[in-house]
Amino acid sequence: MNRLFWILMVVIGAGALLLMLNDSAGSTFGVDNYDFSRLIWLGAFGTLIGAGLLRSGRPLGDIARNLGTWAAIVLALIAGYQYRYELQDVASRVTAGLIPGSPLALGVE
């Protein structure tokens, strides 16, 4: 664990040094400085999360199942957001069928 910490600190320090030295150039290794800094930050954050998951003592199968479940939940929320207007029309039609006298938008103005 101690060795991983120091390796991560060296990588972050080297990335920060490269960003400081290449500030006027606008890019580091052909990547915009903003994108390179995000790569360093997200790489360090991903390493932190990965190390925490691996050192938690839980079986990898359980971790994979839980991550898959959360990925499916997020995907369902994204799909619901993308089709929110169509789902709103379906809900409006169901409401109009269940409650007589409720307005129904036909899509014709």
Residue 73 has pLDDT above 90, yes or no: yes
Averaged pLDDT score across all residues of the chain: 85
Q: CA-CA distance, 20 to 70, in Å (whole number)?
A: 38
Residue 101 has pLDDT above 80, yes or no: no
The β-bridge partners of 10 are: none
Is the Cβ–Cβ distance between 92 and 105 less than 8 Å?
A: yes
Model pLDDT, residue 39: 87
β pairing state of 27-28 and 31-32: antiparallel
Model pLDDT, residue 69: 98
Residue 96 half-sphere exposure toward CB, CA atoms < 13 A: 10
What is the arithmetic mean of pLDDT over 37-42? 88
CA distances from 21 to 24, 25, 26, 33, 74 (A): 8, 9, 10, 11, 39
Encoded tokens for 22: 């290449």
Provide the percentage of residues in the chain whose pLDDT is more than 70. 94
Residue 28 has pLDDT above 70, yes or no: yes
Tens of pLDDT, residues 45-60:
888 888 888 888 889 8
Tens of pLDDT, residues 81-91:
999 999 888 88
Provide the percentage of residues in the chain whose pLDDT is more than 90. 24
